[in-house]
Amino acid sequence: MELTREIATKIVSEVNNLLPQKINLMDDRGFIIASTDEKRVDTFHGGAWRIISEQLPQVVVSEDGEYTGALRGLNYPIVMDGKIRGVLGITGDSAEVVRNARIIQRMTELLLSEASLAEQRIVGENVRNSYLDQWLSGDRKLLNAAFLDRGLELQMDLSIPRRVLACCVYSPGRKQGWETMRGIDAAKQLIKQSILSAGRNNLFFQEASGLTCLVTLQTDGELLRLARDLCAQVEAAFPELAIAVGIDDQPGDFLTMHANYVRAQRALAACMRTHRWKIRFYGDLNMEVFSDQVDSATKQEYIRKIMKGFSDGEIVRLLPMLEVFYDNDGSLTAAARELFIHKNTLQYKLRRIAERTGYDPRSIRHSSLFYNAIYFYREVKDAFQV
């Protein structure tokens, strides 16, 4: 593993917090890449280069300038996997710093080893993620015995039937910034841990927009309990964030998992459109099943066709009113209460819609037309001018 500037800076900071000494870390070219004295960063250290070039166990600098760019102190190689990865320099009188020198050297090597293991985990996750991405892409040409064997080498048995949960952690207030992003990343890690603890053959697929979980649980009841548990954990640990979960409709196998993935993603999209649901099963979708196949321009055209005779500004006011009316199962009293208007006012507005469009929103026969318009409006409302 290469001793990078980022890792070296972190090591110097952590070591210096425990043992406050003047410390430098040099790379395998002999240049200082991290130091408690920032002015020395990017300067050449002749003592370090001697250790690297001659493979020495240490170099003592008795006085400043004895080696190019070196101050008096002790210098030790940082060894990992039998190879010198860099050099640790501890500035000061050798008699004074020698007591802590070996401790600092060992701490530095341990921290570098931890960084290496973390890097290996990330590389391993990336390889697994890329493999799952290929599996879920739906390219049948890839899905053969060799592909299945490759999964086994990565400790993933794709022949096991699984269900799919598509998860998205987001900020309800649409806040951005590093704090929010760090919170979302931490919440995803919490979800991963929960998924893995729920079953040793469970898998997760990391995407920019969310996290896809492939679990061995089979029934809708089991999946609902798992989804509710994930929501509770995330929202308890991160009160400023929210989570939505879309779930497929049946177990999938090695050859059909792409379809399950698409269904779970559509169920998640239904949650994210209005945020009225935290959890949605694909089997509970109706309009959402085909809405993604209709382009934005066609949705706008449909809305204006149904609401003919009304301006964009009127549409912006009337469709949300109709949504409340339908959400209350056509009850004038309940809808008027929620809209903070008199029920006679609501009755008048509904009558005016029927007169001007030719479609009566109170009619069972015509209600589906307005329901479609309302659903499309949620997705393209920004296109309507108030």
The reported pLDDT for the residue numbered 285 is 84
Confidence of residue 294 (pLDDT cuts 50, 70, 90): confident
Range of the domain at 198: 160-290
166 shares its domain with 271: yes
- 378 plus 283 within the same structural domain: no
Read off the pLDDT of each residue in 239-256 and give the average, rounded to a whole number.
94
Instruction: Specify whether 164 is located in the same domain as 286.
Output: yes
One domain for residues 13 and 113: yes
Domain boundary among 229, 259, 290: 290
pLDDT digits (tens, 9 = 90+) for 342-353: 999 999 999 999
172 and 95, same domain (yes or no): no
Query: For the segment 32-51, what is each residue's pLDDT rounded down to a tens digit?
Result: 999 999 899 999 999 999 99
Domain count, the chain: 3
pTM of the full structure:
0.59
Q: Are residues 276 and 347 in the same domain?
A: no
What does DSSP assign to residue 282? G
- Does residue 79 belong to any structural domain of this protein? yes
Domain identity same for 113 and 177: no
**Close Cβ partners of 170 (under 8 Å, ≥ 6 residues apart):** 184, 241, 242, 243, 244, 272
Tokens at 39, concatenated = 């002015």
- My answer on whether 193 and 93 are in the same domain is no
Q: Which helix (H) or strand (E) is 280 found in, with range?
A: strand 279-281
Q: Is residue 143 part of a domain?
A: no
pLDDT (tens digit, 9 = 90+) per residue, 47-100?
999 999 999 999 999 999 999 999 999 999 988 878 898 899 999 887 777 777
CATH of the domain at 238: 3.30.70.270
- Computed over every residue of the chain, the mean pLDDT equals 89
Is residue 52 located within the same domain as residue 96? yes
Dihedrals phi, psi of 41, to nearest 5 degrees: -60, 140
pLDDT at residue number 122: 65
Structural domain includes residue 141? no
Q: Does 96 share its domain with 170?
A: no
Residues 304-314 have pLDDT tens digits of 999 998 999 99
- Does 301 share its domain with 182? no
Confidence of residue 123 (pLDDT cuts 50, 70, 90): low
Which residue type does 186 have? A
**pLDDT for 206:** 86
Tell me the C-alpha distance between 56 and 54, whole Å.
5
- Assigned domain for 148 exists: no
20 belongs to a structural domain: yes
Do 59 and 86 sit in the same domain of this protein? yes
Whether the CB-CB separation of 268 and 244 falls below 8 Å is answered with: yes
Domain boundary among 86, 118, 150: 118
